[in-house]
Chains A and B, each alone.
Chain A
Amino acid sequence: MADKVLMKGNEAIAEAAILAGCRHYFGYPITPQTEVAAYMAKRMPKIGGTFLQAESEIAAINMVYGVASTGKRVMTSSSSPGISLKGEGLSYLAGADLPALVVNVQRGGPGLGGIQPSQSDYFQATKGGAHGDFHMIVLAPDSVQEMAELTVRGFELADQYRMTAMILADGTMGQMMEPVSLDFKFRDPVEKPWAVTGTGMKREHNIINSLYLKPDLLEKTNFDRFERYKVIEENEVLYEEYKMEDAEICVAAFGIAARVAKNAIDQAREQGVKVGLIRPITLWPFPTKAFAAAAEKVGHFLSVELSMGQMIEDVRLAVNGKAPVSLCNRTGGMIPLPEQVLDAILSIHNGGAK
């Protein structure tokens, strides 16, 4: 196995992107994702790439739209308020079927909110994030290693399905330092005959566009796109199960919340409570089947989130009334302690919390 290097999560994203062949980065400063831009600003000029600090997140995402139109790998990163500004661009990327990688290192909201870690952009990320019928592939790392791996995977999925992949991380993931292996297995690159590269007077002109004035045509593009989404839902769901074999209580958590939850689960197990975890790694597509299967044998679900409870809605949909689903949360930049999660597990175990 290749050597590991000690890196911050945000830096791991940047280096993994470069290794994945991304040579264009556009961004606008915002805490807590600054290290991604700083890393790119240092590295890109040395390897013939482009780092450009845009005048706004709106400009940055549209620069991404430009490079994506030419068929090259391109990314931007930001944090919650900045992602809201990118919403317009995310919708256009979806409408024009362009691949891109967007990183959201979330902070507490709404509004200017705070700069501490949060997961309260779950709705925004998984339910489209802007106007129109569309989805993004949403990847939620829970370690620095996954920050790197999911960045590579994000580029590959984006290319394969011609859509935006979003890394949905949070301030802790971004700042945390862990050893990482950057020894990736890359998929073969995807042909992009649709890209605008200049006709060279050798082919018909290519057009990158999301305007369809005829409603039947626009409807068809949406139907076609959602056919592609079905393939993704079938083939690209990622999740981790932890101590689920004999579990009677199932915790649902992603990212930093999953790490806290594992700690609590270990403590609960020491007390003889049969509890496990399903950790969605793709938030869209959501591991609905895994939760539905768990609902056949588990008596109670507990969604642990750094928000007022957003993923819990998808857990409830998947569980489909077969078992109660409770919430254990902190928000606004606060992180639940393992003790809080343990208490929630124990009170379910003792027939409490609903």
Chain B
Amino acid sequence: MPSLKPTLQAKGIQKFLGSDLNSVHVLRGVDLELMPGHSYSIVGPSGCGKSTLLYLLGLLDRQNEGEIVIGGRSATHASEVERTEIRNMHIGFVFQFHFLLAEFTAAENVMLPMSKLGKRSPEEMREIAFQLLSEVGLGNKVNRLATQLSGGEQQRVAVARALANQPSIILADEPTGNLDVNNSNVVFELLCRLARQHGQSVLMVTHNPDLAKRTDFVLPMKDGLFVEDEKS
């Protein structure tokens, strides 16, 4: 496994946020490499730039300086359409607030990335959605509307959706931040187990030190830079 190629490489990432006058230097040159089959956690005080980094790595936003390579493709100078395509194929997002489309059922939410990719028939997509939802323990609730699910259930649907196109990278921003202990554990275990099983890289931001310790690598962050483990 160590001989495998990295799923994601980031070098010298810098990011300024805000308008010209009160612009903030949020990221000050972050380097990062994610390997397949491993889990990573970013920890650090609120406001140190964790979410900002995740959005940049997920190509939801553009860095001011630095280079991001995903699946061997440089995304730095790619067009918006190409970046969106890379996102669709290689990246699965899980956010703190379970972002599901309220008018759609659990299965339909999971099918969204697949129908955009357009590589499977509707029957196949439905099949895969059922399978993924069973894996996250929601096999009996596939046809529930998103609004008819509890917070923990919605977050599990979001995990299933993030996995739908078998992306090489899963980015999770405080995925358990809004859940009780039980659900936190369920979702966390799910992410780590799936990463190992499917050979994906999982990068998650978390405030929970216990959970962070259970990932393969812990990346402490401070003031827009990764720092050596300083054991607070």
Q: Tell whether A pairs with B.
A: no
